[in-house]
Amino acid sequence: MAFAAAPDRRYRRRHVRYQGNEPPGTIVVDTSQRYLYAVEQGGWAMRYGIGVGEEGRTLKGKATIGRKAVWPSWTPTANMIRRKPHLQQYASGVTGGPHNPLGASALYLYRGGQDTMFRLHGTNEPWTIGQAVSSGCIRLTNEDIMDLYERTPLGTTVSVI
More confident residue, 37 or 94: 37
Q: What is the pLDDT of residue 139?
A: 94
Is the Cα dihedral 25, 28, 33, 34 positive or negative?
A: positive
- pLDDT tens for 6-57 read 678 899 999 999 999 999 999 999 999 999 999 999 999 999 999 997 765 6
At 4, the pLDDT band (50, 70, 90 cuts) reads: low
Which residues are catalytically annotated?
A: 121, 137
Q: With a cut of 60, say whether residue 76 has pLDDT above it.
A: yes
- State the DSSP string of 57-86: ----EEEEEEEEEES--B---HHHHHH-GG
The residue extents of the domains of the chain are 11-160
Pick the CATH number of 11-160 from 2.40.160.20, 3.40.30.10, 2.40.440.10, 3.20.20.70: 2.40.440.10
Structural contact between residues 32 and 146, judged by C-beta atoms closer than 8 angstroms: no
